[in-house]
Homo-oligomer: A and B are copies of this chain.
Amino acid sequence: MTSRRATIADVAREAAVSPSTASVVFSGKTPVSDATRRRVTEAATRLGYTGPDPRAASLRRGRSGIVGVVVGSTLNHLFLDPVQRLMMDGLAEAVAPFGAGLLLLRSSPEIENAPTLLTVPVDAAVLIGCDAPLRASLETAHLRGLPIVVIEGDAGDDVPRILLDNREAQRTAAAHLRGLGHTDVAVVTLRTSAAVAGGWIEPDAEITIDVTRERLDGARDVYPDAPALATAGSSIDQGVFAGRVLFADPERRPTAVIAQSDLLAAGVIRAAEEAGLRVPEDVSVTGFDGVPVDGLSPYELTTLVQAPTDKGRAAGAAVAAMLDGRAPASVLFTCTFREGNTTGPLPR
């Protein structure tokens, strides 16, 4: 009923022990006699003390138990993608045993006063899909001496990276299509840069988003002249749009489509059905990611299976390592080719 919240000093006084003893009872760092422990915990409940103030504890310890996750876009956009969702789960799971939680931060805070890596008590930072706007966060994190991990992006120097063999994997899928006899193949890509909305990719266009460039390179390793249509991001709807473009002219449509994500592939398939084409009899479609796509059920995509949750876990492990002062490992994950029922031999 007092105006002020109880502190550990109050508890100690109430229990007639020293503050350090009371502290030890809560932290468990040092053995304490049962009698003392009980006295302290009872005093605590009597005073309504719920444990050390996390703010004070984190100052004292030099650790807050918070890992900042810097995302480039809105949460809605980010989490639309099952790959990101699973990755975040893996990340959360991997840092949880260290008592750490994930703090979401936007990289481009057009909002005045918005929280940043400079203002918020984080122990480490994870950057997702490191492109231009994220570089700034990288800078500030470096300045503050924060441990940093980058997922699917190039942070240059000695920052540990969690990467995927995008190019090699995509090449495998392309080779699979070539093996089936396809020669007219189109690529439906993820975003090519933070700003662009989509459209045909010119031969000399610069692609600033690594994933997109790498997967496209992989496809072009097999089909150097394959036309590529960029979307505004990984979603079924974007795949539908792209598919409609590809299948608009029945005379000149591709016989196979390499989509850079499973969501896009699902959309392309939908567009194919709209256009009266059967998959895979009339047109083959490959995806990328190997994640469950909500609503795709009759089909099982031919795709490259990655393990997004493991990727998140690896990022978490790297964070944990850096917090422990150990050297974090960069990790290159490998995709597995999985043949589903969305690819088949060249028609006719």
Binding site for B on A (CB under 8 A): 5, 48, 50-51, 53-56, 58-59, 62, 64-66, 68, 74-76, 79-80, 82, 85-86, 88-89, 92-93, 96-106, 109, 111-115, 118-122, 140, 143-145, 235-237, 240, 263, 266-267, 270, 274, 292, 294-295, 297-298
Contacting residue for A295 out of B75, B114, B143, B295, CB 8 A: B295
Q: Is the CB of B54 within 8 A of A56?
A: no
Task: Give the shortest distance, in Å, between A89 (CB) and chain B (any CB).
Answer: 5
Contact A59 B50 (CB under 8 A): no
**12 other A-B residue contacts (CB within 8 Å) besides A76-B86, A101-B120:** A5-B145, A50-B118, A54-B118, A65-B119, A66-B121, A75-B92, A76-B88, A97-B113, A99-B113, A101-B105, A103-B104, A240-B297
> CA–CA, A143 to B6, complex, Å?
12
Chain B nearest CB: distance from A41 CB in Å?
Answer: 14
A-B contact list, 21 entries, CB within 8 Å: A50-B144, A54-B122, A55-B64, A58-B58, A65-B119, A66-B66, A68-B101, A74-B89, A75-B85, A76-B86, A96-B109, A97-B113, A99-B115, A99-B119, A101-B103, A101-B104, A101-B120, A103-B104, A237-B294, A267-B295, A270-B297
How many copies of this chain are found per oligomer?
2
Q: Closest residue to A104 on the B side, CB-wise?
A: B102
- Smallest CB separation, A261 vs chain B (Å): 12
Residues of B within 8 A of A76 (CB): 82, 85-86, 88-89
Among A56, A74, A115, the most chain B Cβ lie within 10 Å of the Cβ of A115
| B92 close to A106 (CB less than 8 A) | yes
- CA–CA, A54 to B116, complex, Å? 11
Q: How far is the CA of A236 from the CA of B104 in the complex (A)?
A: 27
A250 to chain B, nearest CB (A): 20
Complex contact A55–B297 (CB within 8 A): no
A79 to B87, CA, bound (A): 12
- Inter-chain contacts of A118 with B (CB < 8 A): 50-51, 54
B113 touches A143 (CB 8 A): no
Which residues of B sit under 8 angstroms from A100, Cβ to Cβ?
115
Q: Is the CB of B79 within 8 A of A121?
A: no
- Tell me, in angstroms, the Cα distance from A115 to B99 when the chains sit together: 4
Q: Which B residue sits closest to A51, measured CB to CB?
A: B118
